[in-house]
Structure 1
Amino acid sequence: MRTWFITGVSSGFGNEMTRQILAQGDRVIGTVRSRKKMKDLIVRYPDTFDCQLLDVTDVPAVHRTVSEAFEKYGEIDVVISNAGYGLFGCAEELSDAQVDHILATNLAGSIQIIRSALPYMRLQQRGRIIQISSYGGQVAYPANSMYHATKFGIEGFCESVAQEMAQFGIGMTIVEPGGARTEFRYGSAKIANLMPEYKSSHAFLDMLDASKNLAPGDPVKMAARIIESTGQNPAPLRIVFGSQALKATIECLEKRIDEYKAQEELAASTDIISK
């Protein structure tokens, strides 16, 4: 039996991964802000599902919850930082409170979950950390600026930590899903106070309307692929889900590389030339 620690298990990928992991006989310590949606799993898996209340914006609570989980179960095989949400609106349309909250949840919350687990995983000299990001951690669209800020940011953090922890046998994987039929789009997404001046950037409204545009990604399949990835050694640093997401990511990175290559002369012009 393996032990998994997963944040945000009441919906979306977190919920689907939890259901699949419990069904295969493993243990899950899953965090939620409310246990209401988890009653069926609590009843069905009383010995292997440990449902913990946690708001990842509460940093002391994050440290305490992670520490108590490791101390209770001895070792944790996989830590999945999954809690997060989408915020849509152009930069000028967002309130200060909206900016602060998504940074505290998606970015700082993910960082603190991982930081809290590191000393325990370093001592056990094995394990896997998985950060649920998005292909929006590589590709940017209008009216998604703060969501992209959190995902670009957490990917840089994870890529650095992956190098730090490799010497201790800890693998790190950043998961970059494309659009999926989860509550992320059709329930939990937050929308700014929209301004008519930015109407041309509000195409996301159709994306969030299930009657107009269903996402192509299957959350059941994506959850299964995430679980399967923990068996890969070495751990893949990044995994992209969805053919459209992969295509957009490759196109974006190729364009970025071309732009950098065109700057070779400019970049060299700022070097100190020793005589």
Structure 2
Amino acid sequence: MDNVWFITGSSRGLGRSLTEAVLAQGSRVAATARQPEQLADLVAQYGSRILPLALDVTNQAQITEAVAAAVAHFGRLDVVVNNAGFGITGAAEAYTEEQVRSQLETNLYAPIAITRAVLPYLRQQRSGHILQISSIGGRVGNAGISIYQAAKFGLGGFTEALAKEVAPLGIHVTSVEPGGFRTDWAGASMSFAPTIEGYDLVNQRADFFASGNFVPMGDPAKAAQVMINLVEHPNPPVHLVLGSEAAAFLRQADADRKAEFEQWLPVTLSTDHDEAENFLETEMGKFYGVKPEHQRAAE
């Protein structure tokens, strides 16, 4: 299908792989990058089907201009991909204030801002699909990448709530949650906090990333094709995990969370007011569609 895509961070990594795959299968792309001249080879190959746009995703004025320019050029937007971002490794107390702010601005505030900028157009169309490129690090916490994961957990929560908000408008939202893919995430684009004595596990992770010996499982070209197929699906998921590494992490985390939840459930339930009703029978429970466990199992 001839969709119009808006892809941030399109000049390198997963964004570049996705941009190339989308163009190769016949769709059009508003491709944003800090240095759009890096897309010159794709312009030479695909001509007017690609619109390179300069965009610093932390700049609200540039976001507004880029979205408006894409709509003006192509007439609509069908798929919006919030891909731009970068990783950082270190102990939570070691990050500089600038490093913390930069992570949150790029990996959380920026996709929220871009999503808010495109929603009026998608709402008027009563169609569209937003892909938030998150991470398995937005579902499972690991030592050494706490600030990166803080942003990705936030993005996952935003996505899940937004998906319910815009579904009646014909708009889909998916949090794409890869494990390690063979991009430069853990290479040239990775940054590091200062080292602090005592954090042995964190420092070992940082040394491993810096060594260049980290070889991820995932193939970005395959991930790109999955996303192209995804936007054609009539009932896409709100969360899509990519890669065997990510699947293994999530299975273990889900099992650990369930065991912990069940162990502490009596304490959880003990805090209700003595006069409180059964939550499942309250107006709020009905409004949010919360179902008893036996009913969910039967479905």
Q: TM-score, structure 2 length as denominator?
A: 0.88
What does residue 240 of structure 1 align with? 241
Give the Å deviation of 1:255.
Answer: 1.1
SS across alignment from 2:84 = coil
What does residue 58 of structure 1 align with? 59
Counterparts of 2:230 and 2:204, CA distance in 1:
34
SS across alignment from 1:66 = helix
Counterparts of 2:246 and 2:122, CA distance in 1:
32
What does residue 93 of structure 2 align with? 92
What does residue 181 of structure 2 align with? 180
What does residue 262 of structure 2 align with? 261
For the structure 1 residues 76 and 210, does the alpha-carbon distance in structure 2 shift closer, same or farther, using more than 3 Å as the test?
A: farther
SS across alignment from 1:4 = strand
Aligned alpha-carbon RMSD (Å): 1.5
Unaligned 5+ runs, structure 2: 277-299
CA contact (8 A) 1:206 1:213 kept: no
Q: Does 1:159 align with 2:160?
A: yes
Q: Between the two proteins, what is the percent identity of the paired residues?
A: 37
CA contact (8 A) 2:18 2:224 kept: yes
Q: Deviations over 1:93-137 (max 9, x none)?
A: 100000001110000001001111111101101111100000000
What does residue 71 of structure 1 align with? 72
What does residue 31 of structure 1 align with? 32
Unaligned 5+ runs, structure 1: none
CA contact (8 A) 1:63 1:116 kept: yes
Q: Does 1:119 align with 2:145?
A: no
Counterparts of 1:214 and 1:206, CA distance in 2:
14
SS across alignment from 1:47 = helix
Q: Which runs of 4+ in 1 moved over 3 A?
A: none
- The AA in structure 2 aligned to 1:27 is R
Counterparts of 2:42 and 2:135, CA distance in 1:
27
Give the Å deviation of 1:261.
Answer: 2.1
SS across alignment from 1:46 = helix
Q: Deviations over 1:56-93 (max 9, x none)?
A: 11112212221332233221110111000001111111
Counterparts of 2:193 and 2:207, CA distance in 1:
15
CA contact (8 A) 1:207 1:214 kept: no
Counterparts of 1:224 and 1:106, CA distance in 2:
23
Counterparts of 2:12 and 2:158, CA distance in 1:
25
- The AA in structure 1 aligned to 2:83 is N
Give the Å deviation of 1:268.
Answer: 2.0
What does residue 229 of structure 1 align with? 230
CA contact (8 A) 2:143 2:201 kept: no
CA contact (8 A) 2:217 2:244 kept: no
Larger radius of gyration: 2
Counterparts of 1:170 and 1:210, CA distance in 2:
43
- The AA in structure 1 aligned to 2:250 is T
Counterparts of 2:114 and 2:208, CA distance in 1:
30
SS across alignment from 1:91 = coil
Q: TM-score, structure 1 length as denominator?
A: 0.96
Counterparts of 2:77 and 2:49, CA distance in 1:
13
Q: Does 1:19 align with 2:20?
A: yes
CA contact (8 A) 2:103 2:151 kept: yes
What does residue 8 of structure 1 align with? 9
Aligned residues between the structures: 275
